[in-house]
Structure 1
């Protein structure tokens, strides 16, 4: 049976020294476009207190298909993959679904 639960994306980005402001400026557009998507539940960006060059993104989508649509969007391809990823030292992404307790 297909997963009917929402999908959450946990992404940790380690930004190259000196590039944090550039990445944050680009992420403003990514955020604004992401929250317009039909399948988007939320899109939040966090900056580490211990290491300001580390960003944590917490995103929610209605389904796996919505995540795929997000990743295939023109702005994601152009801004995230084309402009932000080259400014990252490391990028980790985990897809998860909430655990329902009885």
Structure 2
């Protein structure tokens, strides 16, 4: 596993009528994720053109920190079990910084 910082862009298309519920759960998920050892940042953005599109921009110290996050109890419970069923579409891109 790489020891350089790793970044995640997640694009969520929230189902119509589910945005408030997703945002409420996401507040707790964001707080807990930001407190993880190895988390550099956890930022949430909302599209100006379509409020049901959210972009999460996350940074982790290394791949081990990202794996810890993905396997954490709060991620599994809040994101995987509660938020994902409220999404129309979800795209996750994991990236290395090159410049």
State the Cα distance separating 1:85 from its structure 2 match.
0.3
State the Cα distance separating 1:4 from its structure 2 match.
2.8
Task: Determine helix, strand or coil for the equivalent of 2:98.
Answer: coil
Task: Determine helix, strand or coil for the equivalent of 1:84.
Answer: helix
8 A Cα contact 2:3 2:63, kept in partner: no
State the Cα distance separating 1:41 from its structure 2 match.
0.1
Unaligned segments of structure 1, at least 5 residues: none
Moved segments of 4+, more than 2 Å: none
Match of 1:65 in 2: 64
What value does the CA root-mean-square deviation take over the aligned residues?
0.8
Unaligned segments of structure 2, at least 5 residues: none
In 2, Cα distance between equivalents of 1:49 and 1:18: 17
TM-score w.r.t. length of structure 1: 0.94
Task: Determine helix, strand or coil for the equivalent of 2:35.
Answer: coil
Match of 1:79 in 2: 78
Is 1:45 aligned with 2:61? Answer: no
